[in-house]
Amino acid sequence: MSSMHEIDYRIEGDDMQFVEIELDPSEAVVAEAGGMMYMEDGIAMETIFGDGSQQNSGFVGSLLGAGKRLLTGESLFMTVFMNQGHGKRKVAFGAPYPGSIVPVHLAALGGEFIAQKDSFLCAAKGVSVGIAFNKRIGAGLFGGEGFIMQRLTGDGWAFMHAGGTLKEKTLQPGETLRVDTGCIVGFQPSVSYDIQYVGGIKSALFGGEGLFFATLRGPGTVWLQSLPFSRLADRIIAAAPRAGGKSQGEGSVLGGLGRLLDGDR
């Protein structure tokens, strides 16, 4: 008998979406800390060590599961939201930045999904959240955020978040696609991936695209995002005011105006 919780859900919104999950009595969903938007009366929260899928394997199993999450840069702890009432209750989780929420039914994908480490939002309790290493250690040293991926296993629903616009593309056997590592949301386990050097040093220094791309090879379906969080963060940092509370442009304009007024005096 499956230990996955069969949850019902509804995704609402356009650019800033959230997913509302309806839980039957004793059903539960597990999520990253801080992702909850609202929950109805009767939903109980509990912080757990790991992802909750190792509940029958004792402390050692939980420790190993939590340790895998730590390697991906995520917290050792997750939060379980369980319906302890007598009727249906709802809990909602909001997207962290503009984009789309992607529902993934693991049973339809062969029980496994490889996801970008920042894309996981929440999942039915019982889904295991581990890590997927690329076999080439060189890719890990130079491949950026695309090297260590999350491996979701089980047969329940999981929800990913894609920044910007979502693109779903099915690759035929042997068909390849080169992708910026941060633009990967996830892919089926039948898709092989590698991190490869692209172009010469001149394009790397002046082209703004970096030295390495992910190469995805079919068969299987891949999900891509047009706005990775890392790219969004870089743009925000680049546009942020410099030290002293003024941007370069602001400081130069206001400074010049101030000097002009001082000269008039």
Name the DSSP letter for residue 187: E
What pLDDT digit, counting tens, does each position of 220-247 carry? 999 999 988 778 787 888 888 764 455 4
Range 8-244 has CATH code 1.10.10.10: no
Q: How many CB atoms lie under 10 A from the CB of residue 151? A: 18
What pTM did the predictor assign?
0.75
Kindly state the tokens that stand for 261. 């007024």
What pLDDT digit, counting tens, does each position of 7-56 carry? 899 999 988 899 999 999 999 999 987 889 999 999 999 988 765 565 44
Residue extents of the structural domains in the chain: 8-244
Nearest to 184 by CA among 103, 118, 237, 260: 118
Q: How far apart are CA 220 and CA 171, in angstroms?
A: 5
Q: How confident is the model at residue 69 (pLDDT cuts 50, 70, 90)?
A: very low
Q: How far apart are CA 139 and CA 211, in angstroms?
A: 11
